[in-house]
Amino acid sequence: MIKFHNPSTIGAPASRYSHGAEAGPGARWLHVSGQVGVDPSGKILPGIEAQTERAFRNVEAILKSAGMGFDDVVKINTFLLTRDDVPVLRTLRDRMFTKTAPASTLFMVAALAHPDWLVEIEAVAARQD
């Protein structure tokens, strides 16, 4: 059985997807859809630092919705538009992941789905209850 997570503490999905999908039994797995710098009201935050922090906070809200946290993340994928933003990403990622160092892939892309989005972060988490 798959449980879908769309917490009310972040913006609603922009189309037909869920922010998280969890599968069991045994270890519970949570796949977090790409999160961007959009707050719960739907506002796109200005600048790479604000958008990256918000994207991580959105990931955190989805993890919390599933009874998980950053310590349960086993993989993150990050999509950036420019290499100039890598230092900001790394600083914020290090602030979020203080106890663990999940597998990570960074993609440099030409564009994201909305022209004002600067970063997108997706994650996979697992927890043995």
pLDDT digits (tens, 9 = 90+) for 22-51: 755 787 899 999 999 999 999 999 999 999
Residue 2 has pLDDT above 60, yes or no: no
Res 1: pLDDT: 46
Look up the domain containing 34 and give its range. Answer: 2-127
pLDDT per position as a tens digit, 82-128: 999 999 999 999 999 888 788 888 999 999 999 999 999 999 998 87
More confidently predicted of 97 and 13: 97
- Looking at the structure of the chain, the number of domains it has is 1
Q: Which of 4-8, 13-17, 59-63, 93-97 bottoms out in mean pLDDT, i.e. has the lowest?
A: 13-17
pTM for the predicted model, two decimal places: 0.86
What CATH number is attached to the domain comprising 41?
3.30.1330.40
pLDDT attached to residue 129: 75
Please give the C-alpha separations between residue 70 and each of 16, 76, 104, in angstroms, as whole numbers.
Answer: 26, 10, 13
Task: Judge contact between 117 and 110, C-beta under 8 A.
Answer: no
